[in-house]
Structure 1
Amino acid sequence: MAQSTNLSNIPAPLLSRPWNEKIVLVQVLVGIFLYVNCLMICTFFKKEAFRTDTRYILFAQTLITDSALMVVTDVAFCGNYFQIPVHCIPCVIMCTILTWLTFGTPLTLVAMCLERYVAICMPLRHASISTTRTRLLGLVLIWCLAGIPSLIGLIMFAASVPLKAFSSYFICSVEMMVIHNWQGHFRGALYQFYFFVMLVIIGFTYVKIMAAARGASSNKKSASKGLRTVVLHAFQLLLCLIQLWSPYVEMAIMNINFMLFINVRYSNFIVFMLAPRCLSPLIYGLRDEKFFVVLRYYAVFGLNKKDFYLCKFYPYHLKHEKTWPLNGK
Structure 2
Amino acid sequence: MSDATQSQTNITVGLGLVERVMLTTLTTVPCCIFFFINVTMLFILRSKLVFRETSRYILLYNLLFADTVQMTLSQILYILSICRIMLTFPVCGVLIMIANLTNEISPLTLVVMSLERYVAVCYPLRHATIITIRNTGVAITMVWAFCSLNVLTRVLLLLNFPFQDLESLQMKNFCSTLVMFLVPISDHYDKAYTCFLFISAGVAVISSYIGVIVAARSASTDKASVRKARNTLLLHLVQLGLSLSSTIHNPLLIAISKTVTRIMLVRVQNIFYVFIIILPRCLSALIYGLRDQTIRPVIVYYLCCRLKLSVVPAKAENSS
Instruction: Give the alignment's TM-score, normalised by structure 1.
Output: 0.82
Output aligned runs, 1:49-88, within 5 Å: 49-88=50-89
CA distance in 1 between counterparts of 2:154 and 2:180 reads 7
Q: CA deviation at 1:266?
A: 1.3
Could you tell me which residue of structure 2 aligns to residue 196 of structure 1? 199
Q: Find the partner of 1:273 among 256, 277, 280.
A: 277
CA distance in 1 between counterparts of 2:202 and 2:235 reads 13
CA distance in 1 between counterparts of 2:171 and 2:197 reads 32
Could you tell me which residue of structure 1 aligns to residue 245 of structure 2? 242
Output aligned runs, 1:91-240, within 5 Å: 91-165=92-166, 167-170=169-172, 171-240=174-243
SS of aligned partner of 2:204: helix
Q: Find the partner of 1:290 among 273, 289, 294.
A: 294
CA distance in 1 between counterparts of 2:175 and 2:17 reads 16
SS of aligned partner of 1:159: coil
Q: CA deviation at 1:189?
A: 1.5
Q: CA deviation at 1:182?
A: 4.2
Q: CA deviation at 1:304?
A: 9.2
* Aligned amino acid, residue 168 of structure 1: Q
- Check the 8 A contact 2:110/2:236 in 1, yes or no: yes
Deviates more, 1:216-225 or 1:196-205: 216-225
Q: CA deviation at 1:238?
A: 0.8
SS of aligned partner of 2:232: helix
Deviates more, 1:178-187 or 1:269-278: 178-187
Q: Can you list the C-alpha shifts for 1:72-123, whole angstroms capped at 9, x where unaligned? A: 1111111112210111101011111111111011111111101111111111
CA distance in 2 between counterparts of 1:275 and 1:264 reads 15
CA distance in 1 between counterparts of 2:37 and 2:191 reads 33
- What is the RMSD computed on CA atoms of the aligned residues? 2.4
SS of aligned partner of 2:219: coil
SS of aligned partner of 1:153: helix
Could you tell me which residue of structure 2 aligns to residue 326 of structure 1? none
- Check the 8 A contact 2:158/2:183 in 1, yes or no: no
* Aligned amino acid, residue 188 of structure 1: K
Q: 1:252 to 1:183 in 2, by over 3 A?
A: farther
SS of aligned partner of 2:182: coil
Q: 1:100 to 1:222 in 2, by over 3 A?
A: same
* Aligned amino acid, residue 169 of structure 1: M
- Check the 8 A contact 2:256/2:265 in 1, yes or no: yes
- Check the 8 A contact 1:44/1:50 in 2, yes or no: yes
Q: CA deviation at 1:44?
A: 1.1
Q: CA deviation at 1:218?
A: 4.5
Q: 1:78 to 1:139 in 2, by over 3 A?
A: same
Output aligned runs, 1:13-52, within 5 Å: 17=17, 19-52=20-53
SS of aligned partner of 2:69: helix
- Check the 8 A contact 2:215/2:221 in 1, yes or no: no
Q: CA deviation at 1:267?
A: 1.9
Deviates more, 1:207-216 or 1:86-95: 207-216
- Check the 8 A contact 1:17/1:82 in 2, yes or no: no
* Aligned amino acid, residue 271 of structure 2: S
